Amino acid sequence: SAFADIVFAAAMMNVFGVLLSLGTVAGLLMLIGYSVDTDILLTTRLLKRKGELNDKIKGAMLTGLTMTFTTLAALVALYLVSSGSYIISSFTRIDIIRDISMVLIFGLIADIVNTWTTNLGILKWYMEKGKVKQKHIEKPKQRRQTA
């Protein structure tokens, strides 16, 4: 998931003409941390909590998507302020902050797709497969009685 997020962010950097710099490398490294964090949140919520699988998925998605959209809102505000000379002339343009925010915006958009479709699907499959095996294992075999 982290690798796919970085590849998507790098592709979008190329599309929008954002050059590789110290700021963009820092943004890519931050993206690794954020991606791992959302994956850990999803995995922990599904594997460690008790209850129905779909209820655990809804709870994890509510927390994870709220966290991601809040971060995206903050990053959009950061981008607007850092490239603010276009919006408000009294703001100073800060290229490194703008580059970091752009990379993180691209990466978080990719992380929503990667975490909440791909990883969720894999974990759901794993848990349903494990449940089937447990039912099979828990069922005792009946012996035939001989007279």
Query: pLDDT digit string (tens) for 74-106?
Result: 999 999 888 876 667 777 788 899 999 999 999
Supply 102's token pair.
Answer: 């752009």
- The overall average pLDDT reported for the chain is 87
Helix axes 53-82, 120-138, angle to 10 degrees: 160
pLDDT of 128 higher than 90: no
DSSP 93: P
pLDDT in the model for residue 104: 97
Prediction pTM value: 0.81
Whether 146 maps to a domain, the answer reads: no
pLDDT in tens, 24-46: 999 999 999 999 999 999 999 98
Whether 61 maps to a domain, the answer reads: yes
Q: Residue 18 belongs to what domain range?
A: 2-138
Q: Is 135 helix (H, G, I), strand (E, B) or coil?
A: helix
Whether 110 maps to a domain, the answer reads: yes
Whether 42 maps to a domain, the answer reads: yes
Whether 147 maps to a domain, the answer reads: no
Whether 144 maps to a domain, the answer reads: no
Tell me how far apart the alpha carbons of residues 115 and 1 are, in angstroms, rounded to a whole number: 7
pLDDT of 138 higher than 70: no
Give the residue, 86 or 70, on which the prediction is more confident.
Answer: 70
Q: How many CB atoms neighbour CB 103 within 10 A?
A: 27
Whether 114 maps to a domain, the answer reads: yes
pLDDT in the model for residue 83: 84
Give 146's pLDDT tier (boundaries 50, 70, 90): low
Whether 143 maps to a domain, the answer reads: no
**How many domains are contained in the chain?**
1
